[in-house]
Chain A
Amino acid sequence: MIALADGNNFFASCERVFQPRLEGVPVVVLSNNDGCIVARSEEAKALGIKMGSVAFKMRALMQRHGVKVFSSNYTLYGDMSQRMHQVLASEVPSCEVYSIDEMFLNLRGIPQPEAHCCRIRAKVKQWTGLPISIGIGHTKCLAKAANRLAKHHRRDVGVLHITPENREEWLDKLPVGKLWGIGPQHEARLLTKKIITARDFSLMKPSDIQKSMGVVGLRMLYELQGISCLSLQEIPPLQKQFVSAKSFGRPLTHLEDIEIPLASYTNRVSEKLREQGLVCAAVQVFLLTNRHRPDQPQYNPSMTTVIHEATNYAPALIAVALKLLRKIWKPGFQFKKVGVVLQDLSQHTQLDLFEPKKNWETRNRLQATVDSLHGAVRWGSMGYDESWKLRAEYKSHRWTTHVHELPIAKA
């Protein structure tokens, strides 16, 4: 039995934990450089504000309805994410982090999974203030589908269990386009074949699916029928972040030994960014000790930082990753794994919609050259220098990680 725990409107909820005035009010969070809307509270969704919509086009509507707008605050979200994951991990035999706000939980051997997940959900809410939903099923695809259904049909309970008995009934309530891994193109084609719901999809002939969607589609079909095909390595990578993490061949204790693999993972993951024309504005680094060795001291730190200029330039990202590593590493632990997560992704061109592409390329080359001189040459007061700066006009405090930005209680 597998569960997927997912933070409800995660970024917006993180903002709410420290600002009670946001309770019951529409809240949106903007992407890096305040470009698009990347998170919405339920109230904001009800106003018809769409995910990914361009912020300035929404400005009038948002002002009219008193929507509270925030720049993304990845330092805060990273810290809250780690807290959420810690609470979840303490309640199940094993688990795996899927994204900043999602975690798969292994429920094997837990007698009443639904009741247990209700307790987990209440614990996450009490300990961190974050509301979550949990979907339970026999496979990862079913758990993911159950999670989505829980958000729409079980909002008060927040937990939904897809069993062999109720499977078809629930899958019939899920539009096929909302299935994990079905993009708009596949959706359009399936709809023309009268495949409307996830149940329709789960009843298709394997040969029909394989023809158009290959082995990925076939796996989804079996997963929806309750036959597990997806292990940890086979999860499709998420586009909202890039992760590179590997276990070491032998446990590493020395900082210098960990720096080398981390730099190489960061380099590799930054290549993926460049391949897709993306830049990132937040970097997270984490370290893991071997949790299967309870006789050894355990320490699983993680830290997130924001970069002032979103980038995909490898040396810059490596420098940030190494700086984070040096902050979280402590002597006396046998580390098993190090990982880097690149977050707050956006299109490379987003900063500069109104400039001709050629200018951009020149500027990128210039940036790269300046970067390569490691601070020996700095930007002068060029007219467009400011446009390189990350716009973050509506950023909340880093409530949990900076001593000068702590929340205040009146006494």
Chain B
Amino acid sequence: MREMRVTVLGPAEELLSSEEIPFFCGGVRAGFPSPAGDYLEGSLSLQDMLIEHPAATFLIKVEGHSMKDAGILDGDIAVVDRALPPSNGRIVVAVVDDEFCLKRLVYRSGRCFLESANASFPPIEVSDCSENKIWGVVKHVIHTLR
């Protein structure tokens, strides 16, 4: 049998895509060539920027238009951090009628409401604001421009 030589260049997947974005520190100057190579400072990781508590962070897809005035649109992906306390005014994922819904949590005169950010959706009053009903706090929203 004839011998065959193989040189491994690297896994194709990793050559084609990388979750890390090279990050250059230092402004862009016009006129002179930037010695950017000297300032290469590792990589920025979106993972690290968006996720403070990995064990408590879940991604949830948004469906519907009731939060459009808060900049949260149909099809967006919410980065939900269960480690954060659901304080007044935060946007949360709550459980209403056995389903997840995404609303703003508002405490007003001793009562608890889930408010929309869209005039055509009235607020929902909830009797039980315990951890069973507030599933997690929305920390970021990933919105893809179409």
* Partner-B contacts on A (CB < 8 A): 20-21, 23, 82-84, 86-87, 90, 125-129, 326, 399-400, 403, 406-411
Which residues in A have their C-beta under 8 angstroms from that of B60?
406-409
Of B23-31, B32-40, B72-80, B105-113, the segment with at least 4 beta carbons within 8 Å of chain A is: B72-80
A128 adjacent to B62 (CB under 8 Å): no
In the bound complex, CA of A20 to CA of B93 (Å): 12
Which residues in A have their C-beta under 8 angstroms from that of B101?
409-411
The residue of chain A having its C-beta at the shortest distance from the C-beta of B131 within the complex is A126
A128 adjacent to B55 (CB under 8 Å): yes
Q: What 5 A-B pairs are tightest by C-beta distance, nearest first?
A: A127-B56, A21-B98, A409-B100, A86-B55, A411-B64
Which residues from 67 to 103 on chain B have a C-beta closer than 8 Å to any C-beta of chain A? 67, 72, 74, 77-78, 82-83, 93, 95, 98-103
> Given A406-B61, A411-B74, list of 7 further CB < 8 A pairs?
A20-B95, A83-B56, A127-B82, A128-B56, A409-B61, A410-B101, A411-B67
Which residues in B have their C-beta under 8 angstroms from that of A410?
63-64, 66, 99-102
Q: Would you give the shortest CB distance from A261 to chain B, in whole angstroms?
A: 19
B100 adjacent to A408 (CB under 8 Å): yes
In the bound complex, CA of A165 to CA of B36 (Å): 68
B59 adjacent to A406 (CB under 8 Å): yes
* Partner-A contacts on B (CB < 8 A): 11, 53-56, 58-67, 72, 74, 77-78, 82-83, 93, 95, 98-103, 116, 131-132, 135
The residue of chain B having its C-beta at the shortest distance from the C-beta of A124 within the complex is B55
Which residues in B have their C-beta under 8 angstroms from that of A129?
82, 135
Which residues in A have their C-beta under 8 angstroms from that of B103?
411
B54 adjacent to A86 (CB under 8 Å): yes
B93 adjacent to A409 (CB under 8 Å): yes
The residue of chain A having its C-beta at the shortest distance from the C-beta of B94 within the complex is A409
**Interface pairs (24), CB distance under 8 Å:** A20-B99, A20-B100, A21-B99, A82-B55, A84-B55, A86-B54, A86-B55, A87-B55, A128-B55, A129-B82, A129-B135, A400-B58, A400-B59, A403-B59, A408-B63, A409-B61, A410-B99, A410-B102, A411-B64, A411-B67, A411-B74, A411-B101, A411-B103, A411-B116
In the bound complex, CA of A154 to CA of B57 (Å): 29
Q: Would you give the shortest CB distance from A105 to chain B, in whole angstroms?
A: 16
Which residues in B have their C-beta under 8 angstroms from that of A126?
56, 82-83, 131
The residue of chain B having its C-beta at the shortest distance from the C-beta of A86 within the complex is B55
Which residues in B have their C-beta under 8 angstroms from that of A90?
55
Residue of A90, A406, A409 most packed against chain B (CB within 10 A): A409
Residue of A21, A127, A403 most packed against chain B (CB within 10 A): A127
B65 adjacent to A411 (CB under 8 Å): yes
The residue of chain B having its C-beta at the shortest distance from the C-beta of A22 within the complex is B98
In the bound complex, CA of A129 to CA of B81 (Å): 12
Q: Would you give the shortest CB distance from A314 to chain B, in whole angstroms?
A: 23
Contacts A400-B58, A411-B67 hold; do A127 and B53 have CB atoms under 8 A apart? yes
A83 adjacent to B63 (CB under 8 Å): no
The residue of chain A having its C-beta at the shortest distance from the C-beta of B117 within the complex is A411
Q: Which of A86, A408, A411 is within 8 Å of B66, CB to CB?
A: A411
The residue of chain A having its C-beta at the shortest distance from the C-beta of B99 within the complex is A410
Residue of A86, A326, A410 most packed against chain B (CB within 10 A): A410
The residue of chain B having its C-beta at the shortest distance from the C-beta of A327 within the complex is B13
Which residues in B have their C-beta under 8 angstroms from that of A87?
55-56
B82 adjacent to A128 (CB under 8 Å): yes
